[in-house]
Amino acid sequence: KAVVSTQSGHYGRDAQNGGTVVAVAGEDFSVVGCDTRLSEGYSILSRDVSKVRKMTKSGLLGCVGFHGDVLTLTKMLDAKMKQYKHTHGKDMSCEAMAQMLSSTLYYRRFFPYWVYNMVAGIDNNGKGCVFSYDPVGSYERETYRACGSASAIIQPLLDNQLGYKNQSNANPAPLTRDRVRTMVRDIFAAASERDIYTGDEVEISVIDANGIDTQRFPLRSD
């Protein structure tokens, strides 16, 4: 239970268990990367906890923040996905899944889930898509986004390498699966050198018309 402290002015559910998620949308694919470290304060609770959950064959959900709320939220979303499939006889599309998550978060806006979320996958037109959220359900579709404990480190790198922000003579190169996978791997390797809550392994998933391909690579483990 969340215990309100009248002396400190905060409640006990504000624990942050670290972790980072990065998502990038390409022309006909999406790439999602996350680390596998679960921590609290200066203690590492586990070195093998993925922050990304497979929702459908073309959609992934990334969650970071308070791990108890992550488990509660994903359990509820799993139930809603199953109910949708039994009712309509098909999996939910990535856009519908994004809207469902927004409604679920907004329903709890007065006592929100302490979780930052991202949905990534393939839309109804076969294009890569990424949706980012705040804890009360506001969301937008983007080309790339980072969330979690190392987001302040990673987002400027994404703005530079993928968004070409403030570059007058930029010549954007086309995004390929291998290029984005390598970039996400390098970004996590750099972030793990500066953020103690990101590390151990990076799990990178590539989503396209053929399904989801997932690989893991080592990061700093100290």
Residue environment code for 124-155, b if the CB has 16+ CB neighbours within 10 A, otherwise e? eeeebbbbbbebebebeebebbbbbbbbebbb
pLDDT digits (tens, 9 = 90+) for 65-81: 999 999 999 999 999 99
Q: Is the pLDDT of residue 208 over 90?
A: yes
Of 108, 159, 98, the closest CA to residue 130 belongs to 98
**Mode of pairing for the β-strands spanning 128-133 and 139-142:** antiparallel
pLDDT digits (tens, 9 = 90+) for 70-124: 999 999 999 999 999 999 999 999 999 999 999 999 999 999 999 999 999 999 9
DSSP string, 55-109: EETTEEEEEEE-HHHHHHHHHHHHHHHHHHHHHHSSPPPHHHHHHHHHHHHHHTT
CA–CA separation, 163 and 40 (whole Å):
33
Quick check: 117 and 133 in contact, CB under 8 A?
yes
pLDDT digits (tens, 9 = 90+) for 145-189: 999 999 999 999 999 999 999 888 888 888 999 999 999 999 999
Q: How many CB atoms lie within 10 A of CB 43?
A: 7
Place of tokens 């979303």: 77
